Amino acid sequence: MAESFEKKWIKRVEKKDWEKETLL
């Protein structure tokens, strides 16, 4: 469970960073 949660969080962070790059 902990591993899947961590992966989800990492994916969310990566998504946010990706969206920031697209906005720039």
* Dihedral of alpha carbons 6, 10, 13, 19, sign: negative
Count of CA atoms in the C-beta half-sphere (13 A) of 1: 0
| Total-model pTM | 0.36
Band (pLDDT 50/70/90 cuts) for residue 22 is: confident
Q: Map tokens 């961590």 to a residue.
A: 6
What pLDDT is recorded for position 1?
A: 62
**pLDDT reported for residue 24:** 64
